Structure formats: C-alpha cells, structure tokens
Amino acid sequence: MDDSANSLYALKKDLGQRFRYPLRSFTFYAQLGITVVGCGGAGIWYTIYTDGLRVQSLAAALLTYFPPLVAASTVDFIQEKQKPYLRMFGFSVGVALAGIFLFAVCHSPELKLSCGLIGTLCSLIFWWLANGEKDWVKDNPANAATGGNVQDPLLGEETDWKK
C-alpha cells in the first residue's frame, strides 16, 4: 500500500499529538485563558454583566465570538505547507462551523443559543488543535548538543559553504 495516500492515519496521529502536546504547558493555558477566553470573550463577559443570562443577548454574544476564532484557526491550518491533509482538515472544519453559524442566524433565540454554545465549544477545541504544536507553546525549547536554543540563528557566515 502506498503510504503517501494514507492521510487519514496521519491526520489522526497529527491531531492526537496536537491535542496532547500542550497538556503540560503553562504558556498554552495562559494564552488560552487570558487571550482567547478572557480578552477574546470580552463581549460575552460584558453581555453577561449587563444583561445577565438572557437568551437572546447571550446567543448574540456567542454567535459573534466563535466565528473569528474559527477563522483564525482555519488560517493556521491552511498555512500548513508540509501536510496538505491538515490544510483540508482545517478548511473542512472551518466550513462546517460556518454552517452552524449560518444555520443559527435564521432560527429562534433558543436555537441560536444552542448553536452558539456548540459553535463556541467546537471553536475552542479547533483553536487548541490549530495551536497545539506551535513554537510559542514550547516552554523549554530544545538545546543543541553544543549548547543553545536550536531556533537561534547561527553565528557567523551562513553562505558560501564549500563541500
């Protein structure tokens, strides 16, 4: 069997790694809690503060929160150059979550709230997967055998190498 066509297995493996990798990263949880849920969800927090848990207001806040999070995560996946199956996964999930949004805007406030909650939960998981193996998640970057961060630029001339 041709391994290059076995992208479902590779997708499952990559998504599993992206989900598990940040489980012990303080930086990841801080980013998720402070920027994505805290600051990104400011409209939701403000709505709860001013209107309480009124269905219509909370539904509107959730329906305006999760689409930008989905869009940003979709872009992260689409920029994956080495793994086309991740690009298509990101695009497919982005379209599916956009469908939830479009479905919700044409229905009752109760259904809008349900779709908003589902969309928000799915978008947070999608964000987690999109950012699970980013360099900023790595609290302790690997060091080269001779010392130093492997991501740092090389010292000296990097061109005109001779064999």
For the packed helices 84-104 and 55-78, what is the interaxial angle rounded to 10 degrees? 160
DSSP 8-state class, residue 148: S
Give the pLDDT confidence score for residue 6 in this predicted structure: 84
Cβ-based neighbours of 64, under 8 Å, separated by 6 or more:
43
C-alpha–C-alpha distance, residues 95 and 93, integer Å = 5
Low-confidence ranges of the chain (pLDDT < 70): 1-5, 141-151, 154-163
Residue 49 has a pLDDT of: 96
Return the residue matching tokens 């009752």.
108
Query: Domain extents for the chain?
Result: 25-134
CA 74 – CA 47 distance, rounded (Å): 27
**pLDDT score at 40:** 95
pLDDT value for 26: 93
Q: 55-78 and 109-131 are packed helices; what angle lies between their axes, rounded to 10 degrees? A: 30
The predicted model scores a pTM of: 0.81
